[in-house]
Structure 1
């Protein structure tokens, strides 16, 4: 089974991404999200740009056991308890991965204008909580990105 990803060339060097439909029955959400494949992220997380796109009310989400830290500092972190990621696989069908999806929100008011602009273009991340279930194939030269089982 293969999930085809893509290289996002607006990043230098190009960054590996994969598309997935984020589904939460509890939140009544079912939308396509581009996830940056990030082997440095221990957990998958929805960040500010997609938080706005998905129109999530973070106040309704349970606070995570601990906040997430990374580029941009430590951020308020919540959890979507019933998250599913739906990936299109090589036979054309959808494959479901269940997870507790983290949702991270920066305190935008504490950032200067340039930092705020950068935070609002940062993609959501597909982390090792999902990646560990797959073999990652990444070959920029041949323009290949796959998650394979």
Structure 2
């Protein structure tokens, strides 16, 4: 039994899964899981859920892999951080931007928007430099 399997057994047992469901998920025999649970104080409680199949599954929004949702936890949308980043970068319109501010640049007079910075003054670094060093080299 690997350390990864031990961690997964402990996590699933704390979530209320039974020996058979854990054994199927981890790839060990039911008796091995039961022996591990007994020796580590994870036995003695009746499992709330007898099968991992009872947990509703969804698909990753980016790659379509099956996601296993765990009861009592936040619903997953992505299988990994890479998929999450890739999907959000491809769908910027889905971001609920609450802190969008509109300004007028004092240097060029162009109107621009900035996300998350209520104190921004200039539309670009070029306008900032032009305003900062008016009159030539300093």
Q: Shorter-chain TM-score: which interval?
A: under 0.3
In the superposition, the TM-score normalised over structure 1's length comes to: 0.21
Structure with the larger RCO, 1 or 2 (CA within 8 Å, 6+ apart): 1
Q: Higher strand share goes to which structure?
A: 1
Q: Higher helix share goes to which structure?
A: 2
In the superposition, the TM-score normalised over structure 2's length comes to: 0.23
